[in-house]
Amino acid sequence: MPDPRRARVSDHATIVECVHQWWGDSRTPEQARELSLLLPKLFLQFFSGTSLVLEDESGIRAFLVGFYSADNETEAYVHFVGVDPTLRGQGAARRLYTTFFQRAAEAGRTEVRAITSPGNAGSIAFHRAMGFTLEAGDRVVDGLSLHSDYDGPGQDRVCFYRRIGRGESAFATSGWL
Ligand SMILES: CC(C)(COP(=O)(O)OP(=O)(O)OC[C@H]1O[C@@H](n2cnc3c(N)ncnc32)[C@H](O)[C@@H]1OP(=O)(O)O)[C@@H](O)C(=O)NCCC(=O)NCCS
């Protein structure tokens, strides 16, 4: 598999189609379409330079949509990551995050944030494996610190935080953190 490449606005339609397909098994088609609404074209129009795609001869196999805060000079944010189910567990998302960390650190960013739903155990385990800590929320359920109503009524979230910096590649690729 080649190195991740910078995303392009022309990837948008394919990425939306990937979400429909990759989540087609675990969700209804309607739910998969709803999920893809988290990826309107604006993310590729305005943040393709900080978003990444992993592709092979068959096309896009994984992607990361992320950006650097416009409100401060320290934070970077991963909005959405997706991996083809047939490629999961083989380090694709680790490669995307590692590249994102390296580029963000080179651009002077010192911290990365991301969120997920409390029920997304795979995402929580993945972010922990990538060295993220859970930011303290307002209540603890099943050992998880939750931020109640974070994205609106009933939309609780788990919030991840990780510092990045010099030497990022050595830490991130060896899995020390
Ligand atoms: C979560 C997801 C991005 C992980 O992608 P992946 O390519 O399978 O992850 P990797 O193979 O790079 O795994 C990296 C590390 O995370 C761990 N990890 C990944 N998925 C895991 C899971 N479901 N359960 C436990 N650990 C997991 C791996 O064990 C690995 O740890 P290690 O390097 O210390 O051995 C992928 O499963 C996915 O696309 N899920 C659906 C979308 C989603 O939930 N996105 C996140 C919220 S937007």
Please tell me the predicted confidence (pLDDT) of residue 176: 33
Out of 126, 132, 171, give the residue to mutate to test ligand 1, the one with the largest number of ligand atoms within 8 Å of its CB. Answer: 126
Map out the domains of the chain with their CATH numbers.
5-174 (3.40.630.30)
Count of CA atoms in the C-beta half-sphere (13 A) of 82: 21
Distance CA(18)–CA(61), nearest Å, equals 8
Tell me the pLDDT of the chain (177 aa) as tens digits.
Answer: 889 999 999 999 999 999 999 998 788 999 999 999 999 999 999 999 999 999 999 999 999 999 999 999 999 999 999 999 999 999 999 999 999 999 999 999 999 999 999 999 999 999 999 999 999 999 999 999 999 999 999 999 999 999 999 778 644 444 332
Give every strand in the sheet of 5-6, ordered side by side: 5-6, 52-56, 59-68, 75-83, 111-116, 158-163, 133-134
Q: Phi then psi for 63, rounded to 5 degrees?
A: -150, 155
Ligand 1 cavity residues, CB under 6 Å: 80-83, 88-94, 116, 120, 122-123, 125-126, 129, 175
